[in-house]
Structure 1
Amino acid sequence: MNNLCVAHRGFSGKAPENTRAAIQMAMDEPFVEWLEIDVQMTRDGVPVVIHDFSVDRTTTGRGKVKDLTWQEIRKMDAGIWKGRQFAGEQIPSLDEVLQLVKGRLKVNIELKTSGNMYPGLEEKVLACVETHDMLSDIVLTSFEPKALVTAKELEPKVRTGLIIDSHPRNLLSRLKRMKCTFLSIGYSHLDAAFAADLVKNGITPMAWTVDDPKVMRSLARMNPEIMICTNRPDTWGQIFMSKLGQKISFWRRIWRGWA
């Protein structure tokens, strides 16, 4: 089974997305090897892990992330909306997340931006990644091509990937021009021929967001290199993990802890 499981915003099917609880729950599944998170920046320049441009949906606060300070965001409850058992969860900083997962999970960091919404976001994120010595363990992705180009200019060795929910004819050539080696794509736009073409050209495809067992099986049949991004890693595990696979994944995780 090569279709790696990517925990979308952590184990967001059960825990509040993009929180330590969701990330820890994903890490508790022995077969999860990748985490996908969203990063924005506070008014005072702290990279924080949250999906929406405002805090309204997932916290007890109000306002746009870019207009709030780190201390203001820190006071908000980011867990109670998902259930009382998650009361007190906070929006984590990127630094906290990388510290938590280092040596255990690789990370798909989405630069959640549009146009010039967050000047300096790429530099701040890369600085955080380098502080934790995790350049080889991350990929920077974004819907915003300019963010990916800027990241490559700042650090040519960083892996980058476009996020897209369509399949224009020139997509492969666009990826090559941008020097992307990763593609995050809505699963309905993938087929076997396109997946094979991507892999042949050194580009790793990740399908999102896949919670349906039938779709997971279909993607696996298309190509073993398609990464499956899901809110429900447990569903992935029920489909793909044999007892032997569980043992291999367990000992692989132990080895990583020793390395």
Structure 2
Amino acid sequence: MNHLCVAHRGFSGIAPENTLAAFRLALEQPFVHWIELDVQLSKDDVPVVIHDFTLERTTNGTGRVKDLNWKELQQLDAGSWKDAEYCGEKIPSLAQVLDMCRGRVSLNIELKTAGDMYPGLEKAVLREIVMRQMEGEVVLTSFERTALRRTKELAPEIRTGLIIDARPDDLAKQLEKLQCSFLSMGYPRLDRNLMKDLTGRGITVMAWTVDDRRIMRKLSALHPELMICTNWPDRWEQVFLLSKHRLWHYIRNLIR
């Protein structure tokens, strides 16, 4: 189906972002084709799924993710901030998420790093992916170009993508130089000409993060292959699946 639905940090409009609850809820939606998530490293080099470099916003912990080991991170509550229903939800490991999603949905795994914050991140993430033979089910993305280069050096066959919220004139050349076949871009930067150029070069483009139904409809006119990343996959369903359903009924009534 065109305009593939990407659940941003899982079904994060309802469940606490980047938790197994959010991923489980996303997997329950038959129209969710991809899930986007963020990966960092614990102090003892376990790949963990969390967005912020610090713990305060999405857990009851304090300080930096990188300063706590896996056992310590597991003691934190990563759900109560969202709703009391999710009290006790944990920060998941990448391994747990891969095991849950394997064979069910594709994964956009953001390598969440800055400079040399996590020198072993790429290797640790690739180890978990290769161990499960999921190379064809993932794309590794990042704002950090060094992380993308390291990923390609370690595993040339792995698909990679640049995350960007800008519109440089030589974007296509930058992607080619990075060996990226995927682009994750802030949706206001996209237009029809850019989509035509990039898709013509074999680049898959994902727009982030789109929660407004009106904007979803507007983006859908840019190109049929544009992927849409949202915190609310049910709104994607309302815009695309229900619209197609109504159109089908309209056409069926016309030909009766």
Structure 1 length normalisation: TM-score? 0.93
Q: CA RMSD in A?
A: 1.1
Shift of 1:128: 0.3
Do the aligned partners of residues 193 and 244 (structure 1) sit closer, same or farther apart at CA in structure 2, a change above 3 Å counting? closer
Do the aligned partners of residues 213 and 242 (structure 1) sit closer, same or farther apart at CA in structure 2, a change above 3 Å counting? closer
Do the aligned partners of residues 243 and 27 (structure 1) sit closer, same or farther apart at CA in structure 2, a change above 3 Å counting? farther
Shift of 1:9: 0.1
Amino acid at match of 1:46: V
Shift of 1:242: 4.0
| 1:223 paired residue number | 223
Amino acid at match of 2:127: A
| 2:249 paired residue number | none
| 2:164 paired residue number | 164
Q: Which runs of 5+ in 1 are unaligned?
A: 246-259
1:137 aligns with 2:127: no
| 1:54 paired residue number | 54
1:88 aligns with 2:70: no
Q: Distance in 1 between matches of 2:193 and 2:184?
A: 16
Shift of 1:219: 1.1
| 1:200 paired residue number | 200
| 1:39 paired residue number | 39
Amino acid at match of 1:194: L
Structure 1 ranges of 4+ moved more than 3 A = 242-245
| 1:127 paired residue number | 127
Q: Give the secondary structure class of the aligned counterpart of 1:40.
A: strand
Q: Distance in 1 between matches of 2:76 and 2:4?
A: 33
Shift of 1:228: 0.1
Shift of 1:66: 0.7
| 2:253 paired residue number | none
Q: Distance in 1 between matches of 2:49 and 2:76?
A: 13
| 2:248 paired residue number | none
Shift of 1:243: 9.2
Shift of 1:204: 0.4
Q: Deviations over 1:109-134 (max 9, x none)?
A: 00000110001100000000011111
Do the aligned partners of residues 166 and 88 (structure 1) sit closer, same or farther apart at CA in structure 2, a change above 3 Å counting? same
Q: Give the secondary structure class of the aligned counterpart of 1:206.
A: strand
Shift of 1:215: 0.9
Aligned residues: 245
Q: Which runs of 5+ in 2 are unaligned?
A: 246-256
Q: Give the secondary structure class of the aligned counterpart of 1:75.
A: coil
> Which structure has the bigger radius of gyration?
2
Matched ranges for 1:177-216 at <5 A: 177-216=177-216
Q: Give the secondary structure class of the aligned counterpart of 1:80.
A: coil
